[in-house]
Amino acid sequence: GPEWASYNLGVFLCTTCATGHRNLGSHISKVKSLKLGKWEDPEVEVLESGGNVHVSEKTERFVPACYRRPKPGDPHVLIEQWIRAKYERKEFESESAKDYTRGEMKGHLMKKARDENKYYPRYFVLSETESCVKYFPKESSKEAKANIPLSDVNVCLAPAKMHQDNGLQLSYITEGSTRHIYVYHESGHVIINWYMAIRSAKLNRLMVAYPSASEAELVPYLSTDFALEGYLSKTGPSEQDAYRKRWFILDHRKLMYHSGQMDAYPRGEIFLGHRDDNYSCTAGAPRNCKDQGYTFSLKTPERTYVLSAPSSEERDQWMQAVERVLEQPLRPQDNLMAVSLVRKRPGKFSLDIFSLT
């Protein structure tokens, strides 16, 4: 539903992209309303000779396979930097190597402290050769604070809970538990370069591991946004336990719950297998459990989790998201992920059971 157009570039724009074009400045893109603007004949002629498909043939000629093209509803920083890459930096008009496709990247990012809501500068290094992302307290530090295998890391772009437009959430499994790292940079260009660099390095490693697969087949495995995040209340292991409010994240076949939105570790993680393996999601609570508001039950081979949403709409949203996962066949990497999520000894980050039948 385009309501705007850039009359010097010759492209039609939705309201979101029109805002991005205005931010480029009129020396790059001249934006006008299709309904309210007064159009001169030369301006109309530019649109007639251009058009989005024709212009994209030039501005998107050499988009790397690792580059995530934005869709409606995607984070603002991704849309903004896509527009700047096309029309300001002219990034995709030649085959020249991009900073994020070189297999390595180094620089400072602001990282959230594990146990407090403060950010501190940390020196990050991405190495495709070493197949890892690591960070150091300072650039001069000899020992890394964390060494994250590329095969394990998922990078999520600008989660709303961060309140940082130029943010990333890196999640990976360490010692049987998921670890979340939150970083941001004041420059949207820099944070998108880091995002694409991780995707590029992962793609190159996957192409080595699966030489018969095409780039298009491997791209969906580079990074995934969380299917759903939000507050739910849950009971304890006993159906008679009281409900407690937790922040839930649905990450493909992994349902995590946390005390707070920005916790470094989840309090528990639930593996979601296939419906045929005795997994199900139904509205309401078991007979012996108190029904609190908009309750639903998630059954696994080991336990039934009783969850309550703030509204009927949110309950339906969570149930539909979980049911979509339960309908999907398991992939080999899902089996590996389930095995890596092991029962931990009681402690600060004790986990619930994970199992595959």
pLDDT, tens digit (0-9, with 9 covering 90-100), for 37-74: 889 999 999 999 988 999 999 999 999 999 999 999 89
Q: Domains in the chain and their CATH numbers?
A: 4-88 (1.10.220.150), 104-221 (2.30.29.30), 228-340 (2.30.29.30)
pLDDT at 357 over 60: no
Burial of residue 28 (number of CB atoms within 10 Å: 0-12, 13-18, 19+): middle
DSSP letters spanning 192-232: HHHHHHHHHHHHHHHHHH-TTS-HHHHGGGS----SEEEEE
pLDDT at 100 over 60: yes
Secondary structure E strands in the chain: 4-6, 11-13, 31-33, 104-112, 119-127, 132-136, 146-149, 154-157, 167-174, 177-184, 228-234, 244-251, 254-258, 268-271, 280-283, 294-299, 304-309
Q: Using the CB atoms, write b or e for 134-166: b if 16+ within 10 Å.
A: bbbeeeeeeebebebebebbbbbbbbebbebeb
Spacing of C-alpha 96 from chain mean position = 27
pLDDT-based confidence at residue 341 (cuts at 50, 70, 90): low
What average pLDDT does range 229-251 have in this prediction?
90
Residue 244 tokens, joined:
């407690």
What average pLDDT does range 186-196 have in this prediction?
98
Secondary structure E strands in 41-166: 104-112, 119-127, 132-136, 146-149, 154-157
pLDDT at 356 over 70: no
pLDDT at 83 over 90: yes
What average pLDDT does range 20-31 have in this prediction?
96
pLDDT at 173 over 50: yes
Name which of 224, 203, 200 is nearest 104 in CA terms: 200
Residue 248 tokens, joined:
């839930």
pLDDT at 191 over 50: yes
Quick count: other Cβ atoms within 10 Å of Cβ 38? 7
pLDDT at 344 over 50: no
pLDDT-based confidence at residue 238 (cuts at 50, 70, 90): confident
Window from 128-137, 234-243, 337-346 with minimum mean pLDDT? 337-346
On average, the pLDDT of the chain sits at 91
pTM recorded for the entire structure: 0.90
pLDDT at 343 over 90: no
The pLDDT assigned to 289 comes to: 83
Q: How far is CA 317 from CA 175, 224, 259, 294, 324, in A?
A: 32, 19, 21, 12, 11
